[in-house]
Amino acid sequence: MIINNKNKFYKIILKIAGFLRLKGLIIRLLAITLFSILFLLKKYRKIVFCPIVHHRIGHLAMNTDLFLRRLKNGYFPSKNIYIGVSNKFPANRQLMKMFKRYWHIIENDILRDVISIYPIRGSEFYYELPFDDNEYFEFNNIKPVLYFTQEEEKIGKKLLLNMGIGEKDWFVCFFARDKKYLTKDINNLYNKDWSCHDYRNSDINNYLKAAEYIVNKGGFALRMGSIVEKPLPKERHAKIIDYALDFRSDFMDVYLIAHCKYILSTNCGITNVAQLFNVPEAWANVAPIRFSPFLSSSRFILKKLWLKREPNWMLKMTDLSLLPVLIRRELPMPANGWRG
């Protein structure tokens, strides 16, 4: 009985392996065919495929918007045709919808696979959307690309009313990065250990005093996020709204950030949406420093870090060169002997 079950299991594995090999061969043939067509069309118009970083909202927002701002400002040859390619499940459907108003984007898993391998990948017909963390000029001097339609504005105002926020009210969005999103959502896609990013996390409760200050000034404070580690305390001011757990949608993620007075947060993907609409940002607990806001109207402070072997030594600005993790993202903090 056990032997028969093992044989069935092996047969299933072999069938799957055979299917994957066949799929890989078909994708390769399609890539060669498409490359040949693109090469022939080149003397008339060059077509360039641009894979969109679709699985994380920060990269979907910033990489795509940066490319479109540069395209708008004449960075690329006007005779070329640039086509965005994404899979069918972007991190935020509303953002994808808005980008499509300005740019031709194809959502197709097969095409995404085809352009991502040789001979197209790395050729003149392939362009990866850039993001080097130094694009201050583009986000301070080129006007925003995205906009809301009149119908979307009506929907947004109606949903604000559902939260108790009227047209004359003002509000601030706030957010604290935690490990829940990467471990639950992204980990399901890539089966990867994301603990190297844990040093960037912070506690949402640390932002409540700021939220109370906003409320005392007459505004509303809306806690953002799609998958969050814990809810806000139940005993809080009525104007401090746990939007992430009570009202969240792809549309309102973008609408709220685009219409808030400013956003208070850590440096993370969802807060980057604010830069698409020139909304000021106030970042606390920033690490690494390379991920700082671009807008001249924004401000940030670094995360407090202490040396493990000397608990009373807190990192100073003059010590930055001693801690590469604050400059780049690749090094996990424990390897450097620091704690947050």
- Pair 121, 216 in one domain: no
What pLDDT score was predicted for residue 64?
A: 98
Side chain identity at 251, as an amino acid letter? F
Q: What are the two backbone dihedrals, phi and then psi, of residue 283, each rounded to the nearest 5 degrees?
A: -105, 130
179 is a domain residue: yes
Q: What is the pLDDT of residue 302?
A: 80
* The pLDDT value given to residue 292: 82
Whether a cis peptide bond, with omega within 30° of 0, leads into 119 is yes
pLDDT value at position 188? 54
Pair (282, 226) in one structural domain? yes
Q: Give the model's pLDDT for residue 335.
A: 47
Which pairs from 87-91 meet CB under 8 Å and 24+ separation? 87/54, 87/55, 87/112, 89/54, 89/55, 90/52, 90/54, 90/55, 90/60, 91/54, 91/55, 91/56, 91/57, 91/60, 91/269
If asked whether residues 137 and 157 sit together in one domain, one would say: no
Same domain, residue pair 120 and 161? no
Domain with 194 in it: 150-303
Question: Is 308 within the bounds of a domain?
Answer: no
Residue 338 lies in a domain: no
Residues 161 and 248 in one domain: yes
Query: Within 13 Å, how many C-alpha atoms sit on residue 168's CB side?
Result: 0
In this structure, are 120 and 200 located in the same domain?
no
- pLDDT per position in the chain (340 positions), as tens? 555 555 565 556 555 656 668 888 999 999 999 999 999 999 999 999 999 999 889 999 999 999 999 999 999 999 999 999 999 999 999 999 999 999 999 999 999 999 999 999 999 999 999 888 789 999 999 999 999 999 999 999 999 999 999 999 999 999 998 877 666 655 455 566 666 666 677 899 999 999 999 999 999 999 999 889 899 999 999 999 999 999 999 999 999 999 999 999 988 889 899 999 999 999 998 877 777 889 999 999 887 777 767 777 777 777 665 555 555 554 445 545 556 5
Is residue 39 included in any domain, yes or no?
A: yes
Q: Is residue 317 part of a domain?
A: no
Residue 284 φ/ψ, nearest 5 degrees:
-115, 160
- Whether residue 133 sits in one domain with residue 11: yes
Q: Indicate the residue among 141, 167, 193 that finishes a domain.
A: 141
* Domain end position, chosen among 287, 303, 319: 303
Residue 338's pLDDT is: 54
pLDDT given at position 217: 98
pLDDT for position 331 = 45
Domain assignment present for 123: yes
Please indicate, yes or no, whether residues 108 and 23 belong to a single structural domain of this protein.
yes
Q: What is the pLDDT of residue 69?
A: 97
Q: Are residues 126 and 19 in the same domain?
A: yes
Residue 207 corresponds to which tokens in the numbers above? 């932002």
pLDDT score recorded for residue 133? 78
pLDDT value of residue 305: 74
Number of domains in the chain: 2
- Do residue 96 and residue 32 come from a single domain? yes
Would you say residue 314 lies in a domain? no
What's the CATH code of the domain at 160? 3.40.50.2000
The pLDDT score that the predictor gives to residue 1 is: 52
C-alpha dist (Å) from residue 275 to 188, 229, 257, 279, 293: 28, 25, 9, 6, 8
23 plus 158 within the same structural domain: no
pLDDT of residue 330: 46
Q: What is the pLDDT of residue 267?
A: 83
- Give domain status of residue 313, yes or no: no
Note the pTM of the prediction, 2 decimals. Answer: 0.85
User: Is 199 found in the same domain as 284?
Assistant: yes
